[in-house]
A and B are shown apart, each in its own frame.
Chain A
Amino acid sequence: MIMTVTKKQLVFVLFCLLLYPALLAKDISRDAIAEKLLSEDAKIRQEGKTALFSIAQKDLSGLEKYLNYKGSWIVRHDAVLALTTIPGTESSKLLLKTIFQDTDSTIVSIASHGLKGREKDVTLDELRKLLEMDNQSAIRAALRIVEKIPVDESILVPLSRALENKRWGIGVRADATLAVSKAEGIKTDIKIEIILNAMKKECENPTPEPNTPNKGRCTSLTDQMRSSYRAVILRMGRPTVPYLKERLKKEKGEFRKNIIITLGYLGDPNVYAEILKIATTDKNAWSRADAIETLGEIGNKDAIPLLKEALKDPFSIECGDVLAPPGYEEWNIRYPIRGAAFSSLVKLGVKVVSQRPRGTYKVIE
């Protein structure tokens, strides 16, 4: 009549074998391509990637499932890589959506990098959101966009934060500073204000040195950061002088010193006296070197005796990551103040020759 229990058990086992592919799925939301991308076998993973690229080329909406895949970052990683290869506004928008929604920093970084060359696909609202991201790659993408599309003052607050954010690399902050100077649609006085405010904050609250500073660097992080802010003002050139002078009236301390040095580099003769003071008394040897260097730009020949004296300044530093071969180690020692004095003296028309060992100079009277 009805099959016996034993026979049914056999049928059951056979049925189970038929179900085998379905049982492979541990996570209920895994699908065949995700399975391949998560395989331990590199060949199968490659098959999964190829399938994903094929989906991306045919139908971006089909790729979204993988961009949103919750089960594993690896699937989203491969999906966003596929997305970056697809040109067009639709894929740019999907990249932006990924940047704003994904919480994995690797995915956000790859998607942000994928925006390169797509700057014109980004709206001002999206740019603002990018600048507010807590991810350096997104910030760098935003900075590229700032330089490529017309912006307005609504981006100033997030852009200012990028300049000042001590969690970012100092190079990223330098890029942010440059982006401010290049931003179309923002007035020059506002640009200078942003950069000077960032410089002021850096002077008041210097970027801390790491526990083990890198000897490849010759200056402190805060000195580098200040010189990066200054560099952008110098690139903006002499139109910045009136703004700097106005600001100089109300500022004191380290920040004031930095404005003076900036004006010195711009050749402003009015700061000569204060430059001399920095050149001779400042406790920061790199500031003294900067001041000495600006004397050549200011062009006041009264400084020549001081500069000749500076050719013998004892300040030396062994740093950098390009090193002379054994037997020439003295080449690795730098005398920044002597070098700056040499440069300024030459600018002032004094004949000076450099001799070996490195850092030895002789004035030809």
Chain B
Amino acid sequence: MPANDDDDNDNGIPDKDEVGQVNGEDDLVAISLSILPVLNSGEGEVELKVLWGPATKVWKYPDKRELIIPSNDPCHSSDCERWPPNQLPPTLYVEGLYANIIGTQGLDLSYVLNQTGHLHTDFVMVTVFKLEITEPDENPVTDNNFTFNAAIPGVCNVTGRGTIGVLAMDPNLQWSISGISGSTLTSEPPDRKGPDITFTYTTLPSSWVGWKNLYLTHPAVSCMDYQLVEIFFSRDETNNPGGTNPNWYYYWSQTSASTGNHHYDVSKPNHLGYYSWGDTHFHICPLACGNNDMTGHDGIDTFAEICLHEKAHMDYFLSTWGTWANYWSKQPTEDKDEGVGDGLKDSEEPGMGYDPTKIGTPTNQYRKDNDFEDYATKAEFNWTEGSSDYADWANPGHRSNK
């Protein structure tokens, strides 16, 4: 039987520690007691006794009302209870308290006949188990996080430790975990049996699904425990299937943090991103996985904000000027700020809150040096910090420390 450490009445206390009735209790095991032929009172005494340790309790009702053993009866020891033979309850309920590492304990039903003093007994073996993945156990909270290393192809080892609470049964523990599309999955030991397991994923997938359940079963009990594990990629490595861009760019581009048509440009290591006048795409650069001085955010939020910023430049330019050649020819008459232009059409600037004679309007809230930059920076603040954390499988990243 399982150790009764769940919480059937949902009050935050493990049921085994509850005193008194537990609504919804469904973990106690019924035992049927009877003596045939039926005897009268005075024809002896029946005793139920727990042997070899206090790993169980016996109750009159399945919801833990009326404790039978341990007994409070001062006439005999606490590990047993006695009845006249005609008052023997037909059913009692056994509760497993905790797994007994040496194995079983006994419930012994004895009947002593008065006239002869003859002793009749029956005996049942009880094994209380607790099938449990002990590691990872989210203590600390990140111990269920596993990360692909920098190797090419990348390798991620997921390790687990478990027990059924009975040492002799642990070698038959059976582990499983689901595969990752595009990765090969191996294990040590190869038969996936025993208290310790290492699953190894090799090769990063083309799209990231970091959720995996590690399952533990045992053939003797047909029960299961599982633990959520989270699989991460190394943020700054380049061992993704794309092969050249950093993992953060490759995988974040598949999340809601990504907007617009963008390419990665490693050649500008001191930029967050940029837009080349007239292009129908913009560029994301190496700094975009780090801090954004403007919003104070970092990681996937910075990436999202730079996408929005550069897209704002691109969308404005394409809808207003179309091509570089067109801008080049019209700038002297239609974008005259300080004689050289700032990218914003002079006729539109007052409506946008900008001075068409200046590249940077002195009342700009974010970027006094440049109106077009101030305009694009406003777009950064449309991003909701944290809204893509859920999909951030980078390490370091926004969920790798959770």
Contacts and interface: CB of A to CB of B under 8 A. Distances in A.
Contacts of B377: 171
B124 A5 contact: yes
A352 interface: yes
Contact of A40 (B213, B292, B365): B213
A325 interface: yes
Contacts of A339: 337-340, 358-359
A266 to B, nearest CB: 10
B293 A221 contact: yes
Nearest to B12: A29
A325 B27 contact: no
Contact of B271 (A24, A215, A336): A215
B12 A28 contact: yes
Given A1-B34, A109-B384, A210-B291, A174 B369 contact: no
A325 B277 contact: yes
Contacts of A107: 386
A321 B317 CA distance: 13
Given A12-B1, A29-B7, A361 B339 contact: yes
Given A8-B124, A23-B224, A230 B365 contact: no
Contacts of B297: 136, 169
Interface in A5-37: 5, 8-9, 12-13, 15-17, 19-20, 22-26, 28-29, 31
Contact of A324 (B122, B124, B324, B339): B324
Interface in A186-225: 210, 212-219, 221, 224
A219 B292 contact: no
In which size bucket is the chain B interface? 35 or more
Contact of B294 (A1, A2, A169, A359): A169
Contacts of A157: none
B398 interface: yes
B79 interface: no
B32 interface: yes
Contacts of A230: 362, 368
A9 B212 CA distance: 34
A325 B339 contact: no
Interface stretch (B192-200, B225-233, B235-243, B250-258): B225-233
Contact of A321 (B27, B310, B339): B310
A99 B377 CA distance: 27
Contacts of B373: 216, 218, 320-322
Interface stretch (A238-246, A251-259, A271-279, A340-348): A340-348
B252 to A, nearest CB: 16
Contacts of B271: 214-216, 321
Interface in B382-402: 384-387, 389-390, 398-399, 402
A13 B293 contact: no
Nearest to A166: B296
A297 B223 CA distance: 81
Contacts of A232: 365
B387 A293 contact: no
B152 interface: no
Interface in A283-302: 286, 293
A353 B178 CA distance: 70
B385 A109 contact: yes
Contacts, number: 258
A323 B274 CA distance: 7
Secondary structure of the A contact surface, majority rule: helix
Contacts of A320: 274, 370, 373
B83 interface: no
A199 to B, nearest CB: 14
Contacts of B372: 322
A352 B6 contact: no
Contacts of A234: 362-363
A16 B129 CA distance: 11
Contacts of B227: 26
Given A20-B224, A168-B296, A234-B362, A110 B277 contact: no
Contact of B296 (A24, A108, A167, A265): A167
A63 to B, nearest CB: 16
Given A2-B33, A321-B272, A339-B359, A23 B324 contact: no
Contact of A322 (B221, B313, B340, B385): B313
A352 B380 CA distance: 36
Contact of B29 (A15, A227, A336): A15
Interface in B1-60: 1-2, 5-8, 10, 12, 14, 26-27, 29, 31-36
A174 B366 contact: yes
B369 A171 contact: no
A344 to B, nearest CB: 10
A19 B358 CA distance: 75
B165 interface: no
A231 B364 contact: yes
A28 B368 contact: no
A134 interface: no
Contacts of A137: 384-386
A38 interface: yes
Interface string B205-231: 000010111000000111111111000
B154 interface: no
A113 interface: yes
Nearest to B268: A215
Contact of A235 (B131, B294, B339, B363): B363
Contact of A170 (B34, B293, B340): B293
A22 B270 contact: no
Interface in A310-365: 320-325, 328, 334, 336, 338-340, 342-343, 346-347, 352-354, 358-359, 361
A322 B2 contact: no
Nearest to B402: A73
A110 B221 contact: no
Given A16-B221, A339-B359, A352-B339, A5 B125 contact: yes
A139 to B, nearest CB: 9
Contacts of A352: 339
A190 B377 CA distance: 29
A305 B34 CA distance: 117
Contacts of A3: 32, 124
B341 to A, nearest CB: 9
Contacts of A47: none
5 contacts: A22-B26, A106-B399, A216-B273, A321-B310, A342-B339
A-B CB proximity, top 5 nearest: A354-B339, A169-B296, A109-B386, A339-B338, A227-B368
Given A24-B225, A171-B295, 7 more contacts: A19-B26, A110-B387, A136-B295, A168-B296, A171-B296, A218-B369, A231-B363
